[in-house]
Amino acid sequence: MSKKWLVLLAVSAGAIGLTACAKKEEAKTDAAAAVETAGEAVDDAAAATGEAVDATVDAAGAVVDDAAAATGEVVDDAAATVEGAVDDAGNMMDKAMDDAGAMMDKAEDAATEVVEEPKTDAPGQR
């Protein structure tokens, strides 16, 4: 082979090497860009997940608050109903006691009247 061919072969090999190096650098740059893009996607997904979790927690908290308020209202209503029933029962007991006392007074008055005032037209009396 002549020198000319050897030089041409050497220049070609150098060009191939430079092209390979350039492609390798380009591939590194592309890979770095892909890694950065993937990192951004992961960050975006994490942020979206965090927002979804926050929204879910807020919604669950609102449901629990509403349920607690509704339960409190039911308990308050039940307590008011029981209190009213107790008051009514107490009033009925008071009235029954008053009525019983009045009946006892009438019975006592009637018994006293019978014992203290004998009838004049009873047999054996003048």
Report pLDDT digits (tens) over 83-95. 999 999 999 999 9
Q: What is the distance between the alpha carbons of residues 15 and 18, in angstroms, rounded to a whole number?
A: 5
CA 101, distance to chain mean position in Å, is 55
According to DSSP H, which parts of the chain are helical? 3-116
Instruction: With H, G, I as helix, E, B as strand and everything else as coil, classify residue 126.
Output: coil
Q: What is the pLDDT of residues 28-81, one digit of tens each?
A: 888 888 888 988 898 889 899 988 988 999 999 999 988 988 888 888 889 999
Pairwise CA distance, residues 32 & 58, whole Å: 38
Question: 0.85 cut: is pTM over it?
Answer: no
